[in-house]
A and B are shown apart, each in its own frame.
Chain A
Amino acid sequence: MAVRDCDLGTPASDSSKQVTLEIDGFRVTVPEGTSVMRAAASVGIQIPKLCATDSLEPFGSCRLCLVQVEGGRGLPASCTTPVAEGMKVCTQNDRLADVRRGVMELYISDHPLDCLTCSANGNCELQDMAGAVGLREVRYGYEGENHLKAEKDTSNPYFQFDPSKCIVCSRCVRACEEVQGTFALTIDGRGFDSKVSPGQNQDFMDSECVSCGACVQACPTATLMEKSVIDKGQPEHSVITTCAYCGVGCSFKAEMKGAEVVRMVPNKDGHANHGHSCVKGRFAFGYATHKDRITKPMIRQRITDPWKEVSWEEAISYAASEFKRIQAKYGRDSVGGLTSSRCTNEEAYLVQKLVRAAFGNNNVDTCARVCHSPTGYGLKQTLGESAGTQTFDSIRKSDVILVIGANPTDGHPVFGSAMKRRIREGARLIVADPRDIDLVRSPHVQADYHLKLRPGTNVALVNSLAHVVVTEGLANEAFALERCEPESFDKWKTFVSQERNSPEAMEETTGVSATLVREAARLFATGGNAAIYYGLGVTEHSQGSTTVIGIANLAMATGNVGREGVGVNPLRGQNNVQGSCDMGSFPHELPGYRHVSDSTTRRVFESVWGVTLESEPGLRIPNMFGAAMEGSFKGLYCEGEDIAQSDPDTQHVHAALRAMECVVVQDLFLNETAKFAHVFLPGASFLEKSGTFTNAERRISPVRRVMPPLAGYEDWEVTQLLSNALGYPMNYTHASEIMDEIASLVPTFTGVSFAKLDQLGSVQWPCNEQAPNGTPTMHVDAFVRGKGRFMLTEYVATPERTSGKFPLILTTGRILSQYNVGAQTRRTANSIWHSEDRLELHPHDAENRGINDGDWVGIKSRAGETVLRATVTERVQPGVVYTTFHFPESGANVITTDNSDWATNCPEYKVTAVQVTKVTGPSEWQRSYREFSEEQQGLLEQRTATVD
């Protein structure tokens, strides 16, 4: 498709009232509130413009879009003039042409005339407008005072700022404010001295800029330009695809030159992101062609052997023979597989199919085990479906937003911007988080209540919120009695009403003032549409599932389910967590969340797959490790996951991997898990494959191949090869055929096809006969399970307690610029923002230990010890320390324990009792890790090639 988008100049109006006017003699009917500029553009009349773009509110500064309105005075700007019934507009006449040429003359008199060598050549709105207005001369000359020698700012790794080309249209400033909500840019000075300024006249890198790219996208000239375009030139075609980072699932245009990506530009028509992006999706795609990519299959007998490059046939044949050997020796259940949230739905489906049909067991799991498995359990039990209830756009109708255990501006930045926008419009905000996350206080956003609870006390807090709702008569009894099980509602009310669940009784546990809890609960219950957004700060606890249940209880009790603006909204960590779960990646569920013990469902799958399926649940990831240590689990097919880094209690995980006889890793890089592998199958990045991702709002979006797979195969093809070698035939010729099979087997997907996605852009499941265009809001008239089910949520303190030896609580999280285990983002310039994991600790705790900012500190828990540098900050409360886990050498998971959620075994990453001391060298684990890692790198470099 074409690279350039159609720009209608101003945003659409959502009015249902229509207005008819006449523009250049043509009758035009548009919604009330539409600008004259947009109305004209809707019938193909392009009014010249520079400061207007349809992603921003009209500004009316460039004076190029003037029009003449019959009976009106002067020449109004068409971008700021709304249509009116019967209005007659003229967009082109001699008078307007004169004015426009005059305006352009002024712009061009202070603009470098280097069009032929300019990076925007061919895609410059200033150039276009000069042509459109027929500019033929600049009467003022070029010798007057100008900005042509203004210095470039190249500090940002991804784009440059060249003020000599700036026309001060303010599009960048407005994009930073309106779209991103960071307010990092301003127009400094007045009149001729006006200039765009990041922060306080700083470089972009030193300012508050978060490198989302909105300003670059909004710039009509080459003032803000991607360095990749400066290096490579303008792209010649584009392909719409879906980002492979977080659970927002932004739609992007991959702008290409042949098979090379020049830049990724957020898709204006993207249903999840509406043309916005973050620093990861927008710029951090260089990992796909990084030199560390391994593009040849490799095998070795022992993990102490050098790798041997082999043909695909040999690698697949070796892997299959090893799995067969192991099953023959140790039994059918001695092997298993892991699907990935970084792979497509079709790939996850195929891996679980391979495990169930070719291995013949249910030993399949996915990384949701360690992030949102409690969401799957808790929402299924209460609401009836293991998924969030809303669209992201639903937040536009929220009056109260409760964010608990999530950090959207870092973890889900594009949605974070949408949330901030709604808060600027007046929605009230309650944040429940142990840390001062950015949402608590940032430009033009301030939480009404910050419930700064102690890590591990979510259930206590949610129960005390519910206590206030019930005991103060704030529950929506009518809703709950009509829509939910009355007995369970009564039982729950009795439970939460008990004095021990009151904010006063829980105050000592949570550390949150009872008064604040009461006020927040009242706001939540009475403030209008109230929506709950939560993340891993809820799920990654020993009571993760209990908190999810508590959240669902709270939403049901206040009637905040089943319409826009409300709901229970899990913010999924990775791009396809929802999808990998939907696709049957859990060991107890077939695709579509149906239990393996359900013989009716099994028969449906058996008839299509042609095998008899196991009715017993399989092993979860931590159970696989346990079984490996015990000696009954010996082989693992791991696609696109890095369990050796991401899973808790690293030393236990490493020991379990060492205990296996065949570990097959399919990935882009020799990741941490691959260091324990016997077979390495090269994976394909999202740019090299076709398929679909499903984001946190159940939105299925297309992933389109924009370049050939570097190793020759898309990931689903590799799984197919392995399955065939194992003796279970698969014969798909395209990913779309896999989706067709999914649609034939999963009731919520029966209407999904690649053709449907081409037609609609994306679709939210359930998409079936009842909802052919998908389901934006779930549980509208009834819950999926029929009646909503309240469940009792007793607070149970985590077994991980502080003590004299381990007096601090460590909690973990992520940061904007890095993603998960960092395998992708560490191989991009994003590391400039975050080149190491650091330990945040409060000044009091630092002072007590003689620790200064930047010191090396040892963090010791009951599980292990590691060393990081300290950041002393009041973002964390006294007694709590915090780190990220993006770098393997940090060993963040060396210190996390094997405690896990009672229902799902999701690890308790968020609560580890530790001691922190000043040290001078790395920990014992870090030394041995470095040694092992260097040895493995050496074995990789010594690899022998037997194929070209």
Chain B
Amino acid sequence: MDIENLVKMANNIGQFFSAEPDINVATDGVADHLKRFWELRMRLAIIKHYQSGGAGLSDISKAAVAILAAEQEKLVNAGNG
């Protein structure tokens, strides 16, 4: 997957949810959107990118991908990842 494009897409999602004044609600909104609409290999690619520094990701997108990364890690640890 073209990581540059995925970063751009994630940031675009982040921009929409940034209008939400509560940062936690906004971050959850981005994370939920990624889970509901991004195919697994896209999510894994953005998680990998985040884990190697997350260059280019906006703050809110980075925080949202962090949620996905944590959930993915749990799944892996549970043997379902």
A contact set with B: CB distance below 8 Å: 333, 362-363, 491, 495, 542-543, 545-546, 587-588, 595, 597, 616-620, 623, 626-627, 629-630, 632, 792-794, 796, 799, 898, 900, 902-905
CB < 8 Å neighbour of A623 from B8, B15, B42: B42
Chain B 1-44 against A: per-residue CB contact (8 Å), 1 yes, 0 no?
Answer: 11001001100110110111100000000000101111111100
| Partner of A794 from B2, B19, B41, B42 at Cβ < 8 Å | B19
Most B C-beta atoms less than 10 A away, residue of A629, A630, A796, A902: A902
Residues of B within 8 A of A617 (CB): 36-39
20 extra interface residue pairs, beta carbon distance < 8 Å, beyond A617-B37, A626-B5: A333-B39, A543-B16, A587-B39, A597-B36, A617-B38, A617-B39, A618-B39, A619-B39, A620-B39, A623-B39, A629-B2, A630-B2, A794-B15, A796-B15, A902-B9, A902-B12, A902-B15, A902-B16, A903-B37, A904-B37
B16:A616 contact, CB within 8 angstroms:
no
Contact A630 B1 (CB under 8 A): yes
- List 8 A-B residue pairs with CB atoms under 8 Å apart, sorted by A's residue number: A616-B39, A616-B40, A617-B36, A626-B2, A902-B12, A903-B13, A903-B16, A903-B37
Q: Are A542 and B12 in contact (CB under 8 A)?
A: yes
Chain B residues within CB distance 8 Å of chain A: 1-2, 5, 8-9, 12-13, 15-16, 18-21, 33, 35-42
Q: How far is the CB of A756 from chain B (nearest CB, A)?
A: 34
Tell me the smallest distance from the CB of A460 to a CB of chain B, in Å: 13
CA distance A627 to B8 in the complex (A): 16
* Interchain nearest-CB distance for A32 vs B (Å): 54
In the complex, A300→B13 CA distance in Å? 42
The distance from the CB of B22 to the nearest CB of chain A, in whole angstroms, is 10
Q: Once bound together, how far apart are the Cα atoms of A597 and B32, in whole Å?
A: 12
Q: Which residue of A lies closest to B18 (CB)?
A: A794
A623 surroundings in chain B (CB, below 8 A): 1, 39, 42
Chain A residues positioned under 8 Å from B19 (CB to CB):
495, 792-794
User: In the complex, what distance in Å separates the CA atom of A595 from the CA atom of B20?
Assistant: 24
Q: Which residues of B contact A595 (CB under 8 A)?
A: 36
**Cα(A595)–Cα(B33), bound, Å:** 12
Contacts of A618 in B (CB 8 A): 39
Interface centre among B1, B8, B36, B37 (most CB of A within 10 A): B37
Q: What A residues does B33 contact at CB under 8 A?
A: 903
B16's closest neighbor in chain A, by CB?
A902
The 4 closest A-B pairs by CB, nearest first: A902-B12, A794-B19, A792-B19, A619-B39
Q: Which residue on B lies nearest to A795, using beta carbons?
A: B19
Chain A residues near B18 (CB, 8 Å)? 794
Instruction: Give the residues in chain A near B5, CB-CB below 8 Å.
Output: 626, 898
B16 touches A546 (CB 8 A): yes
The interface residues of chain B, by DSSP majority, are classed as helix
Q: Which residues of A contact B8 (CB under 8 A)?
A: 799
**Residues A792 and B20 in contact in the complex (CB < 8 Å), given A902-B13, A903-B33:** yes
Distance of A903 Cα from B19 Cα, bound (Å):
15
Contact, CB under 8 Å: A632 / B2: no
> How many angstroms between the C-alpha atoms of A69 and B64 in the bound complex?
80
- Closest Cβ of chain A: how far from B55's Cβ, in Å? 18
Q: Which B residues are CB-close (under 8 A) to A620?
A: 39
Nearest neighbor of B6 in chain A, beta-carbon distance: A626
Closest partner residue, chain A, to B12 (CB atom): A902
Q: Chain A residues near B2: list those with CB within 8 A.
A: 626, 629-630
- Nearest CB in chain A to that of B42: its residue: A623
CB contacts (< 8 Å) of B12 on chain A: these are 542, 796, 902
Q: How far is the CA of A902 from the CA of B35 in the complex (A)?
A: 14
Q: How far is the CB of B62 from chain A (nearest CB, A)?
A: 16
User: In the docked arrangement, what's the CA distance between A595 and B13, Å?
Assistant: 19
Name the distance in Å between B1's Cβ and chain A's nearest Cβ.
5
In the bound assembly, the distance between CA atoms of A660 and B1 in angstroms comes to 15
Tell me, rounded to whole Å, the shortest Cβ–Cβ distance linking A393 to chain B: 35
- Give Cα A904 to B33, complex, Å: 10
Judging by beta carbons under 8 Å apart, are B1 and A627 in contact? yes
CB distance from B57 to the nearest CB of A (A): 14
Q: In the assembly, what is the distance between CA of A462 and CA of B16, in Å?
A: 15
A residues in contact with B36, CB < 8 Å? 588, 595, 597, 617
Chain B residues within 8 Å of A793, by CB: 19
Q: CA A363 – CA B18 in complex, angstroms?
A: 30
Closest to A495 in B: B19
> Shortest beta-carbon distance, A791 to chain B, in Å?
8
> Which residue of chain B has the shortest Cβ distance to A543 in the bound complex?
B16
Q: List chain A residues, Cβ under 8 A from B16.
A: 543, 545-546, 794, 796, 902-903
Give B4 Cβ to nearest chain A Cβ, in Å: 11
Q: How far is the CB of A31 from chain B (nearest CB, A)?
A: 51
Tell me, rounded to whole Å, the shortest Cβ–Cβ distance linking B67 to chain A: 16
Provide the residues of chain B in CB contact with A542, threshold 8 Å: 12
Bound CA span A904–B12, Å = 11
Which residues of chain B are within 8 angstroms of A619 by Cβ–Cβ distance? 39, 42
Residues of B within 8 A of A495 (CB): 19
- In the complex, how many angstroms separate the beta carbon of B45 from the nearest chain A beta carbon? 9
Q: Complex Cα distance A630/B5, Å? A: 12
Roughly how many angstroms separate A519 CA and B42 CA in the complex, as a whole number? 46
Closest chain B residue to A622 by CB distance? B5
Say whether A627 contacts B41, CB under 8 Å.
Answer: yes
User: Which among B36, B38, B39 has the greatest number of chain A C-beta atoms within 10 A?
Assistant: B39
- Take A495-B19, A617-B36, A792-B19 as given contacts and tell me if A333 and B41 are in contact as well, using a CB distance cutoff of 8 Å: yes
A588 to B43, CA, bound (A): 14
List the B residue with the shortest CB-CB distance to A630.
B1
CB contacts (< 8 Å) of B37 on chain A: these are: 588, 617, 903-904
B43 nearest CB across to chain A (Å): 9
The answer for the CA separation of A905 and B35 in the assembled complex, in Å, is: 15
CB distance from A897 to the nearest CB of B (A): 11
Closest partner residue, chain A, to B40 (CB atom): A616
Chain A residues, Cβ within 8 Å of B39: 333, 362-363, 587, 616-620, 623
> How far, in whole Å, are A898 and B39 apart by their CA atoms in the complex?
19
For B35, the chain A residues whose CB sits under 8 A away are 597
Q: How far is the CA of A545 from the CA of B35 in the complex (A)?
A: 18
Residue of A nearest to B13 (CB): A902
Say how far B10's CB is from chain A's closest CB, in angstroms. 9
- Chain B residues positioned under 8 Å from A543 (CB to CB): 16
- Expressed in whole angstroms, the Cα–Cα distance for A623 and B9 within the complex equals 11
Chain B residues within an 8 Å CB radius of A629: 2
The residue in chain B whose Cβ has the minimal distance to the Cβ of A904 is B37
> Which B residues lie within 8 Å of A905 (CB)?
9
Q: In the complex, A598 Cα to B8 Cα: how many Å? A: 28
Nearest to A361 among chain B residues (CB) is: B39
Q: How far is the CA of A587 from the CA of B18 in the complex (A)?
A: 26
- Measured between alpha carbons, how far is A333 from B15 in the docked complex, in Å? 30
The CA-CA distance from A726 to B9 in the complex, in Å, is 35
Bound complex: CA A626 to CA B19 (Å): 29
CB distance from B19 to the nearest CB of A (A): 4
In the bound complex, residues from chain B placing their C-beta under 8 Å from that of A796 are 12, 15-16
B40 contacts which chain A residues (CB < 8 A)? 333, 616
Nearest Cβ distance between residue B58 and chain A, in whole angstroms? 12
Docked Cα-Cα span, A271 to B54, in Å, equals 54
A491 partner residues in chain B, CB cutoff 8 A: 21
- What residue in chain B is nearest A629 (Cβ atoms)? B2
Distance A623 CA – B8 CA, assembled complex (angstroms): 13
Q: Which residues of B contact A799 (CB under 8 A)?
A: 8
Residues of B within 8 A of A363 (CB): 39
List chain B residues, Cβ under 8 A from A794.
Answer: 15-16, 18-19
CB distance from B38 to the nearest CB of A (A): 7
Complexed CA–CA distance, A618 and B35 (Å): 11
Given contacts A595-B36, A626-B2, contact A632 B41 (CB under 8 A): yes
